[in-house]
């Protein structure tokens, strides 16, 4: 039936109900004698008032297939107001001679009308319920959480017999709910017994319907499911929904849910103070960290953002994305290599940036072990060029993005990042620019991250390769890391090295197991895990501070500051310049052992295999 015809048919049914309600009340109160003509007039008047009220509140646009108690509340209120209006009108105008419109008459008519109008809607809903009953063909689904979110999931899944998921049972830790039913679906037990109910009901999919669930709670659920082959899905967290970071739909549980933390508190006023209406340059703008810096900086309405990068395709993609999300802002793509001093100098001279975020770097540890000269050129020479130009053109603030691998480095990559940190400290001592370094560990979803590798291996049937059973790493999501990078910029007075709180270190072996479980498989049964041995330059565990740097708190609970190096920075600067000159003169394929020896002279804590 067409929508307009449905509305007209419903109005007709409501009018019949109102007329019947008036006649029934008259029969009861007038001992069987009904003034039919006046009853018809009264019914018509009531129909006009009540139908108008129902139409005003858009109650004829409700989909009766999914009608709820909210609509019934409005029905009752509109009908009551309508009868009170007629009752008051009759007191002053005495419209009806033979009908006694008393309080009792109004009450009975209201009861009969609300009951009849509601029964029409309930009948439609029951019709659809019985029509779909027993026709579900979706995956047998267990819902964890029998609260408002669980009810929302249930109603969404029951909308259609063609739903891919068929709700079978609820679990909830509220013991008062256990043994009851929610819209016909039983609540049978508590969450810690999830494995038992998976086998009992032959569950294929689990939905975690607890938007306030903590990381540890989600971990526990995943652990309970470790010996089963079920898909695990989740509702987005309330904070993610509010900030528009996720669709308001059921999605797969991902590793971020297992490694995440409470939402980060940002001082938006302070961040806006150094970014609003400023020209901001982001190097490595096409990379995972650089592109997220651009996205978050754009929220603070800078005058323009310069997207500096060496790869044209990645810069094109981030420029297009930013134009779509922030059409009112100015984004300027700048193709250039941080190793090219003349190009970098011309960019600073032309655009005169106020704030610089230097995220461009080579980050892949094994590759940099094989190509140490390139690591030196990009990570050290590139940072020197950016810092020198920032100093030369009076940039207000320069934030260098570093890594935990710079602490007591065992790899060329980590060592070159530490050299860059030292150079930043050196150049600050004679500059008006506020230089600061921000150091953090691995970020989820970055290029070269272990997670995409594991997922590809799982999709291929395994094995998943882990270098060492005890290897641990710090992990943080890219948005989390960048939020803290921007916040650290508000703390910088010049020369500091800020370290982000990365939470607890995570075993790579545990990470591999969880990814297999989230894929609906059983570790060591469906997918093998093989240990391949540590690669050149890798550490068993990472550190965020060296022993001499200490661990000093700042105004932000997730940002710490390392004590500055006590070494002679002037000597270090000369040594770094000597290393760069050696790489330039000897070419890209200079002996890696020579480079490592020179780095060792500058950074005594650097260790490497001298057998090379």
For residue range 457-508, what is the model confidence (pLDDT) as tens digits?
988 888 999 988 888 877 777 888 888 888 888 887 877 888 877 677 888 8
Phi/psi at 115 (5° precision): -65, -45
Separation of alpha carbons 254 and 515, rounded Å: 8
Q: Output the pLDDT for position 280.
A: 96
245: pLDDT confidence band, cut at 50, 70 and 90?
Answer: very low
Q: What is the CATH number of domain 139-253?
A: 3.40.50.720
In this prediction, residue 244 carries a pLDDT of 42
Instruction: Give the pLDDT score at 578.
Output: 87
Q: Strand pairing of 529-531 and 464-466? A: parallel
**Residue with the larger pLDDT of the pair 315 and 39:** 315
pLDDT of 31 strictly over 60: no
Give yes or no: 405 in active site: yes
**Tell me, what's the pLDDT at 8?**
78
What's the CA gap between 108 and 102, in Å, rounded? Answer: 10
Asked whether this chain's domains 139-253 and 268-444+475-502+543-602 adopt the same fold, the reply is yes
| Residue 340 or 37, more confident | 340
Stretch 396-421: mean pLDDT:
91
Q: Is the pLDDT of residue 103 over 60?
A: yes
pLDDT score at 412: 92
Q: How confident is the model at residue 246 (pLDDT cuts 50, 70, 90)?
A: very low
- Cβ density class 235-257: b for 16+ within 10 Å, e for less: bbbeebeeeeeeeeebeebbbbb
In this structure, of 170-179, 191-200, 213-222, 523-532, the range with the lowest mean pLDDT score is: 213-222
All structural domains of the chain with their residue ranges = 3-132, 139-253, 268-444+475-502+543-602
pLDDT (0 to 100) of residue 440: 82
Has residue 132 got a pLDDT over 60? no
Of 183 and 348, more confident = 348
pLDDT value of position 266: 62
How do strand 472-473 and strand 506-507 relate by DSSP bridges? antiparallel
Is the pLDDT score of 526 beyond 90? no
Q: Is the per-residue pLDDT at 354 higher than 90?
A: yes
The residue count for the chain: 612
Lowest-confidence range among 7-11, 141-145, 296-300, 368-372? 7-11
- Burial (Cβ within 10 Å: 0-12, 13-18, ≥19) of residue 442: buried
Question: Span 121-133, mean pLDDT?
Answer: 64
Confidence of residue 550 (pLDDT cuts 50, 70, 90): low
- Average pLDDT (525-549) is 75
Reading the block at residue 114, the tokens are 């609300």
* Predicted local distance difference test score (pLDDT) of residue 435: 92
pLDDT value at residue 546: 55
Residue 339, pLDDT score: 94
pLDDT at 243: 45
- Read off the pLDDT band of 12 (50, 70, 90): confident
Quote the pLDDT of residue 564.
66
Check residue 265 and give its pLDDT: 61
> Which 3 state secondary structure label does DSSP give 151?
helix
Element (H, E) at 354: none
Q: Distance between CA 335 and CA 340 in Å, rounded?
A: 11
What is the β-pairing status of strands 279-283 and 304-309? Answer: parallel
For residue 239, what pLDDT is reported?
A: 52
* Percentage of the chain exceeding pLDDT 90: 25
Which member of 158, 237, 377, 405 is catalytic? Answer: 405
Bridge pairing between strands 442-444 and 464-466:
unpaired
Check residues 535 and 574 and name the one with the higher pLDDT: 574
Dihedral Cα 372, 375, 381, 385, nearest 10 deg: 170
- Mean residue pLDDT of the chain comes to 81
Choice among 16-25, 283-292, 397-406, 536-545 with the minimum mean pLDDT: 536-545
**589 backbone dihedrals φ, ψ, rounded to 5°:** -105, 35
Between these two residues, 404 and 86, which has the higher pLDDT value? 404
User: Given the DSSP bridges, would you call strands 279-283 and 464-466 parallel, antiparallel or unpaired?
Assistant: unpaired
Out of 3.40.190.120, 3.40.50.720, 3.40.50.2000, 2.102.10.10, select the CATH number for domain 268-444+475-502+543-602: 3.40.50.720
Q: What is the pLDDT of residue 397?
A: 94
């Amino acid at each position: 039936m067409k929508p307009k015809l449905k509305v007209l048919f419903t109005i007709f049914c409501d009018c019949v109900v109102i007329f019947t309600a008036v006649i029934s009340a008259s029969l009861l109160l007038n001992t069987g004698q009904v003034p039919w003509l006046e009853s018809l007039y009264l019914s018509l008047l009531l129909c006009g008032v009540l139908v108008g009220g129902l139409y005003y509140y858009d109650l004829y646009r409700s989909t009766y297939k999914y009608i709820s108690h909210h609509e019934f509340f409005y029905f009752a209120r509109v009908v009551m107001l309508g009868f009170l209006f007629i009752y008051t009108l009759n007191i002053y105008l005495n419209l009806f001679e033979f009908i006694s419109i008393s309080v009792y008459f109004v009450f009975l008519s209201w009861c009969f009308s609300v009951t009849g109008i509601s029964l029409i809607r309930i009948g439609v809903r029951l019709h659809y319920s019985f029509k779909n009953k027993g026709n579900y063909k979706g995956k047998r689904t267990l819902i964890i959480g029998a609260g408002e979110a669980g009810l929302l999931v249930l109603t969404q899944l029951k909308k259609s017999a063609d739903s891919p998921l068929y709700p079978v049972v609820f679990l909830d830790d509220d013991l008062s709910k256990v043994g009851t039913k929610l819209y016909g679906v039983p609540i049978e037990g508590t969450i810690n017994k999830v494995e038992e109910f998976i086998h009992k009901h032959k569950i294929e999919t689990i939905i975690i319907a607890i938007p306030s669930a903590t990381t540890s709670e989600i971990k526990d659920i995943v652990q309970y499911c470790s010996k089963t082959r079920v898909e695990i899905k989740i509702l987005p967290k309330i904070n993610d929904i509010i900030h528009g970071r996720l669709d308001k739909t059921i999605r797969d549980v991902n590793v971020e849910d297992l490694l995440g933390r409470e939402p980060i508190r940002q001082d938006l006023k302070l961040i806006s103070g150094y970014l609003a209406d400023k020209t901001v340059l982001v190097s490595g703008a096409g990379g995972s960290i650089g592109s997220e810096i651009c996205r978050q900086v754009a929220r603070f309405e800078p005058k323009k953002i310069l997207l500096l990068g060496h790869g044209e395709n990645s810069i094109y993609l981030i420029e297009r994305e930013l134009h779509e999300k922030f059409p009112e802002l100015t984004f300027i793509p700048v193709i250039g290599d941080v190793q090219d001093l003349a190009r970098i100098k011309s960019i600073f001279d032309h655009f005169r940036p106020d704030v610089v975020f230097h995220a461009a770097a080579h980050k892949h540890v094994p590759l940099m072990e094989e190509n140490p000269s390139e690591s030196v050129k990009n990570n050290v020479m590139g940072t020197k060029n950016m810092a020198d130009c920032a100093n030369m053109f009076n940039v207000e603030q320069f934030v260098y993005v570093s890594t935990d691998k710079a602490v007591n480095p065992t790899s060329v990559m980590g060592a070159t990042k530490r050299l860059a940190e030292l150079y930043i400290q050196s150049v600050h001592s004679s500059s008006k620019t506020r230089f600061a370094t921000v150091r953090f560990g691995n970020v989820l979803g970055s290029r070269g991250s272990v997670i995409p590798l594991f997922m590809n291996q799982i999709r291929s049937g395994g094995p998943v390769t882990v270098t060492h059973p005890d290897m641990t790493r710090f992990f943080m999501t890219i948005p989390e890391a960048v939020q803290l990078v921007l916040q650290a910029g508000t703390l910088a007075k010049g020369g500091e090295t800020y370290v982000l709180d990365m939470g607890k270190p995570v075993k790579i072996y545990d990470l591999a197991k969880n990814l297999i479980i989230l894929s609906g498989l059983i570790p060591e049964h469906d997918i093998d895990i093989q240990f391949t041995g540590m690669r050149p330059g890798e550490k068993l565990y990472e550190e965020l501070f060296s022993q001499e740097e200490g661990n000093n708190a700042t105004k932000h609970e997730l940002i710490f500051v390392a004590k500055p190096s006590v070494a002679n920075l002037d000597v270090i600067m000369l040594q770094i310049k000597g290393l760069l000159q050696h790489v330039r003169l000897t070419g890209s394929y200079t002996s890696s052992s020579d480079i490592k020896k020179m780095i060792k002279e500058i950074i005594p804590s650097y260790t490497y295999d001298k057998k090379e």
